[in-house]
Amino acid sequence: MMTRHIDTRDGRITLTDRVLQDLAGIATTECYGVAGMAAKNIQDGISAILGQESLGRGVGVTHLGEDGALEITVNIVVGYGVNIGQVARNIRQKVRYMVTHCTGLAVARVNVNVQGVKVTALDD
């Protein structure tokens, strides 16, 4: 796990990837049409089964090059009947804004992987 350091005149702020994953996860789950987060790997899947839920579940963060820009990948489940393209655009915009606004770090790319569709029972 990488850490990022932001030096200010008042001191140093240290951010772990977990913080970036949580911010991106919060932003993603707030978007209309997202039914939930999907596991990004086997370890996340096992953690979910064991009840160790994380806000950043299904989110990957990669640090690109020397400029420190981030590539964020979110794995989601969408609700049945939503416009998947529009949901993905909303996620990209909201994740980029949230991470940049809260940390000051540049986000180069936000990748959205749709892992499934959730169908909910209709109430008659």
Which residues pair with residue 64 across a beta bridge? 69
Domains and CATH numbers, the chain: 3-118 (3.30.70.1350)
Which comes out higher in pLDDT, residue 80 or 68?
80
- The residue-averaged pLDDT of 24-30 equals 95
Whole-model pTM: value is 0.82
Q: Is the pLDDT of residue 80 over 70?
A: yes
Percent of the chain past pLDDT 90, that is, above it, reads 60
Element holding 87 (H helix, E strand): helix 84-103
Q: Which of 22, 21, 5, 3 is nearest to 13 (CA)?
A: 5
Dist. CA 24–CA 91, nearest whole Å:
9
